[in-house]
Structure 1
């Protein structure tokens, strides 16, 4: 039975796929994720999707669309992670002062978030911002 999470998770693994629609189908149909949002471009590529499972969620999109995140992920490690922060600018200042490789300075997004992007020493891409969507959850069938 689906329910509503009272507080949004503070981290969202973020993945890019060559065929994001096939990934959404696999994650929802084979693994029981709930499709919460899918935003597509005019050419049908997935700009942004949110899928949840339990009290967690992943964000994903189509590889090869261009832009800072797609470019950063081209040579990145196996995953990108989005972390919700209260004050993007303060978090950014701390990361920059600590020597983090900054890929995108704080930027206001069309969907209401203020984000920045950095890369860790293993090449993983970390995005930090204020976007924290509420998610619908699916009950874990294994717990029944």
Structure 2
């Protein structure tokens, strides 16, 4: 596949027991922007069927556990995952996360490979790493 600018070709996709709380944390603490949120009702309860959140030129997709979709069913026994996100100012991003009560696992740290990054756990155990390392993947 040829690398192109514009729309990303890979989207990490997660499911949450409380997708609404996850969206709140990802936008408030980690600086994501809501692109779209589609809600539905399952067993009389409002759930997030699908959401897209943007950070830089990348995005994640997420939804509620128990929504009954094929992806939700396939992910039923999946554990937490890890996602790496490139940010321009790691220290400012970290301060924002701390101000919003994020569970920081590693403070901003200079890495041997030239990145400065930090690591945090979201409300449901997924690990989010934010750093300056952005590999050049031009084919």
In structure 2, distance between residues paired with 1:37 and 1:67: 18
Pairing 1:124-135 to 2, within 5 Å after superposition: none
- Normalised by the size of structure 1, how large is the TM-score? 0.50
Shift in Å at residue 67 of structure 1? 2.4
5+ residue gaps, structure 2:
82-86, 93-139
Residue segments in structure 1 that go unaligned for 5+ positions in a row: 1-5, 80-139
Determine which structure has greater relative contact order: mean sequence separation of CA pairs < 8 Å that are 6+ residues apart, divided by chain length: 1
Number of the residue aligned with 2:37: 38
Q: TM-score, normalised by structure 2?
A: 0.52
Residue in structure 1 matched with residue 20 of structure 2 by the alignment: 21
Residue 73 of structure 1 deviates from its aligned partner by 0.3
- Structure 1 runs (4+) deviating above 6 angstroms are none
The separation in 2 between residues aligned to 1:45 and 1:27, in whole angstroms, is 17
Q: 1:28 to 1:39 in 2, by over 3 A?
A: same
Aligned to 2:127: none
CA deviations over 1:62-93 (Å, ceiling 9, x no partner)? 001112111110123544xxxxxxxxxxxxxx
